[in-house]
A and B are shown apart, each in its own frame.
Chain A
């Protein structure tokens, strides 16, 4: 993580913009925005040293609502943009954010490879098990028997994608699950994720009150993880494979070396490279 010792202190509001969110009243993503700005204030990172990248979808609207450097890209491609920023500007704090459709379906390959590459960044996925912006279709994390979508009126019949297990297997260095209805706990998770070196993945259960109103019950389903985070991938795998999907907390803390090219010149100029062509 970047040294922030000489920074002035900031309040959460210093990270918010004046743009009014397009989210529905009651959307879980409002709390995620609050938790993220709180975490940044806790870390006191100057807003100009933060890059927040997203793809497309309700939750991907996040950057415009913040006062940091944002990039609202195309569907599924937040992680490669974030990778390009961090690798070329390692001193910046880089955060990618988005939803379950953006991250695990169209962006699935990037998700796997971002975990594997282990660049020092944080990826926050607001998971509501539905495509909200396109008016309620099944996402990769939707249960197979959800019949409310016109696209799959008999349900998808496909087992849901398990992002935490995939992240662990692919090599993510920090894995946590949070719930948007617990803004303080979520802020704490994001703070830890940003602090942890390498690729940190935070799944945030964030209800869609419009297309999945039954998700209002999540507040009663979530519970803190009963065990301390482990750095043993095998133990973490067993836990993640067997938990009920509502375990909240840091679930894995790895210690893999992050990927970062040196960016140290060994020649003075391009002219020095041209010698190889001379006969």
Chain B
């Protein structure tokens, strides 16, 4: 008796070159064609070629934002070093582990209590097909086991292999069919219900890093300076060809110091500009981010967080760059920190940050992370909210009046001229300055400009985007979280409600400036607050304590990467507190 489920979790694993990622990507696309939502995270060692790799997928009939607690199916194309993934791929008790008996030593540690094991001779089956591929056999077997229509798989195979010629295509198609045929002899597995037809829309297949790039160009970014760093590079790699198509440019810089200063230059010239990096790069950029703040030159930095400190764990996720993003600048340098809370939200949050940076003439840091950035998902196409870079420009002739670039306006935002505007010449400066821009060390000038730079951020109306609230006004317990832990928190809350309980979630998108009144309103009637984050030092909890009044009693659930925070961990926190 096969059981149908709302979601099913699968891992393809094997040595480098076994085609694990290809199989995973094709399963994700095929799921999308069948109308299912899919979410895939890649995991591999630091070696570029030849290391073990795993593609971890979750397929669901509903939109999916994060991984589940356990995996229902693990398929190893070979067993070389696959045991290293045992902590990352916890199996369910009724799960199924499949692998080639000729594929090396079987790693006992991946079997959970009760997990079933079955053999599938990939190499042998592949030999019987002219040009047969073990990873395509695995793909066919998995699709059959979980009830994914074969035509969806064959469509993806055709789309991606047609250019390799008819022989390669035929071999892969035969491999998929052979895998599906073998699956009939295997023990039953979890199946997904067929996606409902009718209102099915065309889904997108996108990574968080690509989504951030899309948000950037939607917001109006036309100049990007780039220095490669894992896991931020794919933002830049997506932008390089696409900016050129839009008449913009991406320049590869010599280091992160050059990157951030190039975008300051381009922005000063009037072009909306952005760069992307990760923790170590952000650390290098901090001095110049301060320059952007002091000279009121709009820039956006997408920081895709990874395990730190120092070089840390470049290929794994962690929410531990919060402190540097908030407090890493020298002097009093108010700026924007915005955090996407889902893979799809990387598009919106980046676009919003670009819009805010240009509107408020300051620096914006977008805090994404490896789990959002390097995961791929099938999602409903995110609508363009229409937020654009929208810089206040001076208008008309100045006459005899001197242009006051840093004029102390009511809003704190002063019209910003760009080179080429006759009569509006000024010198942008990181030295403290007068309204005209002349360097000054006078106390009155310093306090005026400090106040102005702070006021323009605190006085701005950020609307409803400051946070996402789930279950407004519901229950007396609230979970406050941010970024990529939002997905598992939401799922834990769904289970909490399914158990007949009540609760709400506040996922803060605008981390700086803080919104105390808004959070107080969101926590109306709350007597217990659970703070959830992925950092060893409880950075988010300390930040909340510093800037907000939290009602009632507060518990902090925090732990570092590299393992993702799972919904059941959060659910247990809630359950233990009742």
Contact = CB atoms under 8 A, between A and B. Distances in A.
B249 A110 contact: no
A77 interface: yes
A63 B438 CA distance: 10
Interface string A234-264: 0000000000000000000000000001111
A263 B437 CA distance: 31
Interface stretch (A82-90, A176-184, A187-195, A216-224): A82-90
A51 B425 CA distance: 9
A273 B419 contact: no
Nearest to A51: B419
A83 B245 contact: no
A279 B246 contact: no
A77 B269 contact: no
B223 A87 contact: yes
A81 interface: yes
Given A49-B420, A89-B271, A74 B287 contact: yes
Contacts of A67: 425
Interface string A188-208: 000000000000000000000
Nearest to A77: B261
A70 B425 contact: yes
Interface residues of A, number: 54
B266 A277 contact: no
Interface string B239-263: 0001011111101011101111111
Given A109-B255, A279-B203, A85 B269 contact: yes
Nearest to A65: B427
B264 A89 contact: no
Given A73-B430, A88-B223, A279-B29, A82 B438 contact: no
A263 B273 CA distance: 14
Interface string A134-174: 00000000000000000000000000000000000000000
Given A70-B426, A74-B430, A265 B261 contact: no
Contact of B204 (A66, A71, A113, A278): A278
Contact of A84 (B202, B248, B262): B262
Contacts of A279: 29, 32-33, 202-205, 378
Which of A63, A74, A80 neighbours the largest number of chain B CB atoms within 10 Å of its CB?
A80
B244 A261 contact: yes
A48 interface: yes
B419 A89 contact: yes
Contacts of B288: 73-74, 77
A265 B439 contact: no
Interface stretch (B95-103, B184-192, B210-218, B567-575): B210-218
A185 interface: no
B258 A110 contact: yes
Interface of B: 29, 32-33, 202-206, 210, 214, 217-218, 222-223, 225, 242, 244-249, 251, 253-255, 257-271, 273, 287-288, 290-291, 295, 378, 381, 384, 419-431, 437-439
22 contacts: A46-B422, A48-B420, A48-B423, A51-B419, A72-B427, A72-B439, A76-B257, A77-B258, A80-B253, A84-B261, A86-B265, A88-B222, A88-B270, A88-B273, A92-B420, A262-B244, A263-B247, A263-B249, A273-B214, A277-B214, A279-B32, A279-B205
